[in-house]
Amino acid sequence: MSKVHIVTDSALRLPTAVSEGVSDAEVAKRLGITIVPLTVRIGGEEFKDGIDLDHEELLLRMARERVRPQIVGPTMNDFRRVYGRLTRRTDQIISLHSSGGLSLVTREAERATRGFMGRYDILVVDSETLSLGLGILAESAARLADESMPIGAIVRHVRGMLRHIYVSLTADTLDYLEHSGLISATQAILGTMLDNKPSLALERGRIIPMEKVIGRDDAIGKLADFANEFPHIEKMAILQSTSYATEETEMLRADVEVTAADGEFPVLLYGPLLASHVGPDALALIVYEGFGGR
């Protein structure tokens, strides 16, 4: 029986890449992870995430032009090609992807496996998360595969881990939330007039409005309160629209009283998948509490 191979998509950030300050592609190659790029449509053009699409430039363009990116791939045929190439050297693949509640990527991966049934074990897992959360899962799965853990045991382990990953977020403007169906047109208009900033959470892979807060400072306070509820945190990160720490970032860091076990609290750009739902000015906190959590 050959070693299990891990396939994922470019909506992730690998924790080792973040801590070492290198690209996800470099760490993925080291760990034997295949990253399939998202295909992002902006207007009439399509871009391959991580290849010809810069996240910071996309977010700046969204803020300036209010363009709405759409995630249109990888498609079933894209995954078929990836699986076909990998099955020349393995008969076991875990295809672990960004939240199926935010795009069709997981569904397309599942459709692609049908042509391989009976000959290969290809298990598709919806991570119900993205960014560092997906990266934590993918990296853990790859390390377990390197230890020759059976494919079923790896999947069970990953599914246990994903229940301990949490994302809380807020957005400054409401038109993207309205377009995504997260709030109504009336809520968007009134919220803009009253300067209401929504408190949101990623639950079971879907963005859920939690409550309204008034003003950005209050919204940041809600994010800090979210983090401070955890008695133990293995990893956490801020997701935002710039690659550098802002005044808001420092305010959030100062208000978060708990410290991650690894001692890190990085600032990460969020990518087109999250941007397509919440726009170019969101601020999020992602937490992995580990199995020692609640």
- Quick one: which of 47, 56, 6 has its CA closest to 27? 6
> Tens of pLDDT along 144-183?
999 999 999 999 999 999 999 999 999 887 777 766 666 5
Which secondary-structure segment (H or E) carries 48? strand 45-48
- Cα–Cα distances in angstroms (integers) from residue 287 to residues 28, 51, 138, 215, in the given order: 22, 28, 16, 24
Q: Is 69 helix (H, G, I), strand (E, B) or coil?
A: coil
Do residues 198 and 191 make contact, with C-beta atoms less than 8 angstroms apart?
Answer: yes
pTM above 0.85, yes or no: yes
| CA dist., res. 7 & res. 269, Å (int) | 22
pLDDT at 275: 94
Which class in CATH covers the domain with range 5-38+74-162? alpha beta
With b for 16 or more beta-carbon neighbours within 10 A and e for fewer, the 127-148 pattern comes to bbbbbbbbbbbbbbbbebbeee
- For the 165-288 domain, the top CATH level (class) is alpha beta
**In sequence order, what are the residues at sequence separation of 6 or more whose Cβ sits closer than 8 angstroms to the Cβ of residue 120?**
83, 87, 91, 92, 93
pLDDT score, position 179? 63
| Contact status, residue 5 vs residue 34, Cβ threshold 8 Å | yes
Report angle CA 140, 142, 146 to the nearest 5 degrees: 115
- Spell out the residues 6+ positions from residue 93 whose beta carbon is closer than 8 angstroms to its own: 4, 5, 6, 7, 83, 86, 87, 120, 121, 122, 123
Tokens of 61: 């363009």
Q: What is the pLDDT of residue 270?
A: 96
DSSP 167-234: EEEEES-SHHHHHTTSS-HHHHHHHHHHTEEEEEEEETTEEEEEEEEESHHHHHHHHHHHHHT-S--S
Query: Quick one: tokens of 136?
Result: 């934590």
Low-confidence ranges of the chain (pLDDT < 70): 1, 178-196, 292-294
Which sequence spans correspond to the domains of the chain? 5-38+74-162, 165-288
Q: Is 118 left (phi over 0), alpha (psi -120 to 50) or beta?
A: left
pLDDT of residue 225: 95
